[in-house]
Copies of this chain bind each other. A is one copy, B any other.
Amino acid sequence: MRPSTRDTLIQSAITTLAAQPGASLEDIAQRAGVGRATLHRHFGSRDGLIHALTREAIAATDRAMVDISRDTSATEILRAVIEAIVPLGDQYHFLTLEAATKTDPEITAEIDRQLREMSELVAAVKQEGTIATDVPDAWVVAALDALIYAAWTSAHEGWIARRDAPGLVFRTIIGGLSASDAG
């Protein structure tokens, strides 16, 4: 079935704002093939749209994670998580950058939850010895975020093969922070 007007608008907004954060609502509506009035009917104001966008990005990340099997090592789970998130690179990055992610309590709670889940996964990978314990958790998470977005961008602009992107992120993170390189 055809995607709803609302979904089309959300997708258009994510794509448009990822490329140009200051894009106007006219730009977003036009890319969605919809009148600007319809956008206002669905989301009220620009803030309303941003809010819906952020919630959608969080939900998309959760949907991508839910299928990952937990019956394996934390290292393999991390690999699967990277594989799941790289294709969402634009949304995932949008999630961390947009201003509303720091003001709205409902949103910040969800983001904190996702960051906490990621930190717990990193801790588990550390316990397996795949990541050195002297590396700050915050750096691992920050590097993951940065590399995932870099991989999405590089693939999107045609510099690297799309199917290679998640592997490069995993290899960069795991090899770079491996316990054997400590000191």
Contact = CB atoms under 8 A, between A and B. Distances in A.
A143 B135 contact: no
Closest 7 CB pairs of A and B: A176-B176, A146-B150, A172-B176, A138-B159, A146-B146, A175-B176, A175-B181
Interface in A41-95: none
23 contacts: A21-B21, A21-B22, A22-B22, A135-B168, A136-B159, A136-B160, A138-B154, A139-B154, A139-B160, A142-B150, A142-B153, A142-B154, A142-B159, A143-B147, A143-B168, A143-B172, A172-B173, A172-B177, A173-B176, A174-B176, A175-B175, A175-B181, A178-B181
A interface secondary structure, majority: helix
A68 B150 CA distance: 27
Copies of the chain in the assembly: 2
Contacts of A138: 154, 159-160
Interface of A: 20-22, 99, 135-136, 138-139, 142-143, 145-147, 149-151, 153-154, 159-160, 164, 168, 171-178, 181
Contacts of A147: 143, 146-147
Contacts of A139: 151, 154, 159-160, 168
Given A147-B147, A175-B176, 6 more contacts: A135-B168, A138-B159, A139-B154, A139-B159, A142-B160, A172-B173
A90 B150 CA distance: 16
A135 B160 CA distance: 10
